[in-house]
Amino acid sequence: MIRELEKLSASEVDLVMKTPLFVCILIAGADNEIDGKEIKGAIELAKKGKAKANMSEFYKIAAEDFEDKLKIILQELPFESTQRTPVLVDELSRLNSILPKIERTFAIDFYNSLRYIAKKIAESSGGLLGMKSVGEEEMKLLGLPMIKDPSI
């Protein structure tokens, strides 16, 4: 168990641990097509824990069986992005009641790491001519507006 999450209930810990997966699916599937580059990018980010150096313990645990977890969650979600996105937005919005319960520095770093992951996933699909541009649908969700910035 990660020390910063000890005060949370089991369901809250579960949501926090699934959040990087939800962010990956939300951004990768924003254009209704989750492509292999985006999934591979998500897996690499999780395995390397590059999202934030001081989040390495969290991402080491979150990255365990990442690809399998991602596939399971994808199977549980609606196929169409118009139906999938609202479900993911609702799940991610639940963090707004959880993040204040977590040590502030960890909550801020976690939030920033999620935004970093979202940006990298959006860029991984390449956009126009593979030039790391971000699609319109992804751009709307990129800043994760459904999650309140815990630093404010």
Task: Tell me the pLDDT band of 38, cut-offs 50, 70 and 90.
Answer: confident
Q: Is residue 22 part of a domain?
A: yes
Closest CA to 89 of 13, 8, 132, 143: 143
How many residues comprise the chain? Answer: 152
Helix (H) or strand (E) holding 82: helix 81-93
Q: Across the chain, which distance is largest between two alpha carbons, in Å?
A: 47
Closest CA to 76 of 116, 11, 18: 18
Q: Is residue 8 part of a domain?
A: no
What confidence score (pLDDT) does residue 21 get?
A: 92
Q: pLDDT tens digits, residue range 108-145?
A: 999 998 998 888 888 776 554 444 566 677 788 989 99
Q: Is residue 103 part of a domain?
A: yes
What confidence score (pLDDT) does residue 54 get?
A: 67
Q: Which of 32-41, 46-55, 140-149 has the highest mean pLDDT?
A: 140-149
The CA distance from 102 to 96, in Å, is 11
What confidence score (pLDDT) does residue 90 get?
A: 98
Q: Is residue 82 part of a domain?
A: yes
Domain range for 110 is 18-141
The CA distance from 10 to 8, in Å, is 7
Q: Is residue 79 part of a domain?
A: yes
The CA distance from 147 to 27, in Å, is 14
Q: Is residue 49 part of a domain?
A: yes
Helices 104-124 + 10-28 axis angle, to 10: 30
Q: Is residue 73 part of a domain?
A: yes
Residue bearing the bigger pLDDT, 101 or 65: 101
Is the pTM above the cut of 0.85? yes
How many domains in the chain? 1
Q: Is residue 10 part of a domain?
A: no
- Residues 34-61 have a mean pLDDT of 71
Residue with tokens 């801020």: 108
